[in-house]
Each structure stands twice: as structure tokens, then as C-alpha cells.
């Protein structure tokens, strides 16, 4: 009987141990589940903190951008260019050109490295213009229009090759382009003078442009055909020119020597050279 009691007691103990083991396993499972929830909550908390920090940075950046936008708009009308689009990673501006209905579009886009890429192209200006504005626009001959368009396309290619690492570089590139546009306007005025005063004709020739004219003395007894070759660096580098006597006795060699000596590069290069030739022919 004593042995039977011991067996019963042992059986009850085993049952209790099994139940305790099951209870412990369940508690461990619950603990593991709670730990996973805690880990998830910690991750969410960290994520929310990072988002809050990013929102703070974004607010400051937005505030700076808005201030920059206001400054940019305030000086927009003082420049030869106009703002087209301004976004967080993209700035687009355009220059109104001397060529009718054509504008030069410049796009600056921030890339992953932190630098800026630049693209440039010519687009047709579809904005309606008033009659007064149309009257103010200069009218160019076909040859001059072709020359201006070729120089604008060259500006586009130069802008595409520009390396930009900061907003300061964008500023410098715009100042340089603005200077080039002003220089191009000066050249256009000179070409108009050549056409009106000296009967000059502008035409393309071997990837360059040639300004050709026939110059006479006051008595119409001598006539000289002159051709000026306009390279992309005109008017700040020595210019090639061809002289050919058409009428009268003209010492072309002596004239050529005098031009090399006295006609120097700079604004009004062609017109000054024509003035020297006219004085020589008298």
C-alpha cells in the first residue's frame, strides 16, 4: 500500500512538473512576443525621431529657399535673364536673345554627388509681344541672323561643359554668359553698321563667318574687295582678312602691312579696320 501511494504521488508530481513546464514555455513565448513588440516600438521611435529631425532640416532649408527666392525675384528685372522655374533641386532661367522669337534656356539641376549639371538650348519664344516691343526689336539680315544663332548655339555647348560645384559657380557662370550676351550684342551692332555704311554681306564659310564688302575712295577711282573672317573669339583675337584690288592701282601689300600694324583687336574691330582702309584709299 505504501508503494502504491508513492507511485500515485510520483505520478501527480510528474503531472505538476509537466504543467509547470508548459506554463514556463507559454510564458517564454509571451515574453519573446513582448520583446519583439518592444523592439518594433523602439525601431518606430527611432524612425519617428529621425523623421522629426529631417522635418526640422527641411523646414530650415525651405525657409532659406524662400528667402533666396525672394532675393532672386527682387533682382530679376535688373538682369538680362529671367527666372523660369525654381525648385529644390532645379533652377531654370532664360535669356531673351537678339534673334527674334528665340530665347536661350539654361537649366541647373542638382545631382547625387552634390554638384550641379547644366543643360542649355534654344527655344522658340511663344509669349505674345506687344506692338511697341516688336517695334523696338532690331531687324537683321539673314546672314547676321545666322551668325547670331550660331554664336548662341556655341554658348549652349559651352554651358553644357561647365563644371558646377556650388551655387557660387552658378552665379559665376551666369555672369560670364551675361557678359558674352552683351559682347554679342555689340558685335551685332557692328554688323549692322557694316551692312548700312559699307554694304557688307555676312555669309558662312568653312565653319566660320565672312563679312565681305567693297570699299571705294571718294572719287570712285579705286575699289577694293575685303573679306573679314569672324572666328568664335572675335573681336579679341587677331582677325584674318583678304584684300583684293578690283579697280585702280592699290598697293595691297603696303595696305596689308599697315593693317597688321595699326588695326588691333577689340570692340569695333571690323569698322575700325574699314576706317583705316578708307583712309588709305583716299
Is the same domain home to 69 and 83?
no
In a domain, 191, yes or no: no
pLDDT for 249 equals 87
Is the same domain home to 14 and 98?
no
pLDDT for 281 equals 86
Instruction: Give the domain-ending residue among 136, 156, 184.
Output: 184
The answer on pLDDT for 113 being more than 80 is no
At residue 196, φ and ψ (nearest 5 deg) are -80, -40
Is the same domain home to 215 and 267?
yes
Is the same domain home to 224 and 238?
yes
- Of all residues in the chain, the percent with pLDDT exceeding 70 is 88
Chain Cα centroid distance, residue 41: 48
Is the same domain home to 173 and 210?
no
**pLDDT tens digits, 35-49:** 888 888 888 888 888
pLDDT for 227 equals 92
Q: How far apart are the first and last CA of the chain?
A: 154
pLDDT band at 129 (very low <50, low <70, confident <90, very high): low
In a domain, 193, yes or no: no
**pLDDT tens digits, 166-188:** 888 888 888 888 888 888 888 88
Comparing CA positions, the residue from 162, 151, 179 lying closest to residue 107 is 162
**Average pLDDT for 113-138:** 66
State whether the Cα torsion 76-81-84-85 is positive or negative: negative
Is the same domain home to 85 and 169?
yes
Instruction: Give the domain-ending residue among 74, 101, 131.
Output: 74
In a domain, 276, yes or no: yes
**Average pLDDT for 74-79:** 58
219 dihedral zone (left: phi>0; alpha: psi -120 to 50; beta): alpha
The answer on pLDDT for 135 being more than 50 is no
**pLDDT tens digits, 189-226:** 899 888 888 888 999 888 889 999 998 888 888 889 99
Is the same domain home to 107 and 165?
yes
Question: Count of domains in the chain?
Answer: 3
Average the pLDDT over each of 49-63, 149-163, 181-195 and give the range with the smallest value.
Answer: 49-63
pLDDT for 126 equals 62
Which triple of cell numbers denotes residue 276?
Answer: 583705316
pLDDT for 72 equals 59
pLDDT band at 1 (very low <50, low <70, confident <90, very high): low
In a domain, 53, yes or no: yes
pLDDT band at 50 (very low <50, low <70, confident <90, very high): confident
pLDDT for 70 equals 64
What Cα–Cα distance (Å) separates residue 62 from each residue in 54, 165, 168, 270? 12, 21, 19, 51
Mean pLDDT of the chain: 82
pLDDT for 32 equals 85
The more confident residue out of 133 and 65 is: 65
Domain of residue 165: give its range.
79-184
Instruction: Give the domain-ending residue among 126, 160, 184.
Output: 184
In sequence order, what DSSP letters do the residues of the chain get, joined into one string?
Answer: -HHHHHHHHHHHHHHHHHHHHHHHHHHHHHHHHHHHHHHHHHHHHHHHHHHHHHHHHHHHHHHHHHHHHHHHHHHHTTSSEEEEEE-SSEEEEEEE-SSTTEEEEEEEEE-TTS-EEEEEEEEE--S---HHHHHHS----HHHHHHHHHHHHHHHHHHHT--B-SHHHHHHHHHHHHHHHHHHHHHHHHHHHHHHHH--EEEEETTEEEEEEEEE-TTS--EEEEEEEE-TTTTSSPPEEEEEEEES---HHHHHHHHHHH--SSTTHHHHHHHHHHHHH-
Amino acid at each position: 500500500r505504501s508503494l502504491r501511494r508513492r507511485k500515485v504521488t510520483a505520478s501527480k508530481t510528474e503531472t505538476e512538473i509537466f504543467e509547470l513546464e508548459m506554463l514556463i514555455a507559454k510564458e517564454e513565448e509571451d515574453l519573446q512576443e513582448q520583446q519583439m513588440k518592444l523592439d518594433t516600438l523602439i525601431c518606430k521611435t527611432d524612425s519617428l525621431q529621425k523623421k522629426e529631425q529631417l522635418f526640422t532640416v527641411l523646414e530650415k532649408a525651405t525657409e532659406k529657399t524662400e528667402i533666396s527666392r525672394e532675393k532672386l525675384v527682387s533682382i530679376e528685372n535688373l538682369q538680362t535673364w529671367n527666372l523660369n522655374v525654381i525648385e529644390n533641386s532645379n533652377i531654370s532661367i532664360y535669356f531673351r536673345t537678339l534673334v527674334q522669337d528665340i530665347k536661350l534656356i539654361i537649366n541647373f539641376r542638382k545631382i547625387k554627388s552634390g554638384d550641379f549639371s547644366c543643360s542649355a538650348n534654344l527655344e522658340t519664344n511663344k509669349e505674345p509681344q506687344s506692338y511697341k516691343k516688336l517695334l523696338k526689336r532690331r531687324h537683321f539680315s539673314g546672314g547676321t541672323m545666322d551668325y547670331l544663332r550660331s554664336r548662341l548655339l556655341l554658348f549652349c555647348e559651352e554651358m553644357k561643359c561647365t563644371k558646377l560645384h556650388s551655387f557660387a559657380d552658378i552665379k559665376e557662370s551666369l555672369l560670364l554668359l551675361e557678359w558674352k550676351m552683351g559682347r554679342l550684342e555689340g558685335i551685332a551692332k557692328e554688323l549692322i553698321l557694316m551692312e548700312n555704311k559699307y554694304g557688307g554681306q555676312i555669309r558662312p564659310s568653312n565653319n566660320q563667318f565672312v563679312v565681305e564688302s567693297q570699299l571705294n575712295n571718294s572719287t570712285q577711282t579705286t575699289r577694293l574687295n575685303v573679306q573679314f573672317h569672324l572666328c568664335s573669339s572675335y573681336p579679341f583675337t587677331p582677325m584674318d582678312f583678304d584684300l583684293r584690288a578690283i579697280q585702280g592701282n592699290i598697293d595691297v601689300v603696303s595696305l596689308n602691312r599697315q593693317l597688321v600694324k595699326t588695326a588691333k583687336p577689340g570692340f569695333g574691330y571690323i569698322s575700325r579696320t574699314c576706317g583705316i582702309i578708307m583712309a588709305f584709299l583716299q
